[in-house]
Amino acid sequence: MKIKEEISLKPYNTFNISANARYYTELESTENIYEFIHEKKFQNIPQLILGGGSNILLTGNFDGIVLKNQLMGVRLIQETPEHYFIKASAGENWHRFVLYCIENNYAGLENLSLIPGCVGASPMQNIGAYGVEVKDLIHEVETIHLGSGQTQVFDNPSCKFDYRSSVFKTSYKNQFIITSVIFKLNKKPNYTITYGSIEEELDKMGIKELSIRAISDAVCRIRKSKLPNPSEIGNAGSFFKNPVVPIKIAEELKEHYPDIPIYTVNPTNCKLAAGWLIEKCGWKGKTIKNCGVHTKQALVLVNYGNASGKDILELANRIIASVKDTFHVELEKEVNII
């Protein structure tokens, strides 16, 4: 395990923010993790576990140690008449892992194609898109406690999955490093195509017979048409969560704004489209300093050049205040602020 000092984190965050880490190391094996845990020098300084860097906003230099998760490997560990159990190491690229599953006819993850980041972030964020959430496909999460060095396996209920959240983002934040995730995938596909414009895209593609590959291709086409490529424009995908509100509030908003998109979550709550709220407040396409709101998707904040993390955070806070003032709805950041 090599420890580097004063390392630029610009290559390691998709917002392309210039910030330095006091210390930096890459964890390529569980042995590296145990080696780090036994290094007394780093026990009492801040630690940042970094995967693909696609869901963070660096607001300054990090005066601690960045642990870059580089654990690799994917394998089938169990098979039943209905399911495949696939173990993927946390450092694996998420989209490449999804494509691997499609190649092998392991069904379930196809709607989550082209989401940036690594496998280890998937349970932490409870990633989701186009009617599918990863919590419904995760069997277990394998971890090592950064304090004690003990291994701990979290079954699905122990992860306490919530909307774009889990126990790893809340009560156990920064306490465990995720080493691998075991996914329970289907032998018989259960197609989800009614969310968003998947059906319309499949029609455009001339698909007559559904397959997990066709759905993945449709999702990739939709995402590429709406979302900026981080290698071209710095961004972290959706910056805000879609707010969940009581049905009564949603109905009141519907009276004033008949075209507001509302999605039923359960008998008492509805989900609102954050992008629609932001666009209605006039933010879509707006630029301030070197950052702004993307022209095609108001949920996405972008770094057009040399914006600082503080510039982007200030823009986000202005948007939150604007939406609250207009709709009396509080937006919550999905991106982790560092």
Q: Which of 54, 113, 180, 238 is catalytic?
A: 238
CB 48 within 8 A of CB 62: yes
Q: Which of 89, 164, 165, 223 is catalytic?
A: 164
Answer yes or no: 75 catalytic: no
Return d(Cα 258, Cα 250) in angstroms, integer.
Answer: 11
Pick the CATH number of 4-69 from 3.10.20.600, 3.40.50.300, 3.20.20.70, 3.30.43.10: 3.30.43.10
Return d(Cα 246, Cα 263) in angstroms, integer.
Answer: 11
In the block, residue with structure tokens 């507001």: 260
Return d(Cα 104, Cα 84) in angstroms, integer.
Answer: 10
pLDDT at 44: 85
Return d(Cα 213, Cα 101) in angstroms, integer.
Answer: 10
pLDDT at 94: 96
CA distances from 238 to 226, 232, 281, 299, 336 (A): 11, 16, 17, 5, 11
Answer yes or no: 318 catalytic: no
CA distances from 131 to 42, 64, 136, 230 (A): 42, 38, 11, 24
Q: Where are the domains of the chain?
A: 4-69, 74-144+155-186, 234-337
- DSSP annotation of 164 reads T
Q: Which CATH architecture has domain 234-337?
A: Alpha-Beta Complex (3.90)
* pLDDT tens sequence for the chain (338 residues): 799 999 999 999 999 999 999 999 999 999 999 999 988 888 889 999 998 898 899 999 999 999 999 999 999 999 999 999 999 999 999 999 999 999 999 999 999 999 989 999 999 999 998 989 999 999 999 999 998 899 999 999 999 999 889 999 999 988 999 999 999 999 999 998 987 689 999 999 999 899 999 999 999 999 998 888 888 899 998 999 999 999 999 999 999 999 999 988 888 999 999 999 999 999 999 999 899 999 999 999 999 988 999 999 999 999 999 999 999 999 999 999 99
Answer yes or no: 164 catalytic: yes
Return d(Cα 297, Cα 301) in angstroms, integer.
Answer: 9
Domain 74-144+155-186 is found in CATH 3.30.465.10: yes
Amino acid at 333: K
Structure tokens at 337: 């602020």
- DSSP annotation of 242 reads P
| φ and ψ at residue 217, rounded to 5 degrees | -60, -40
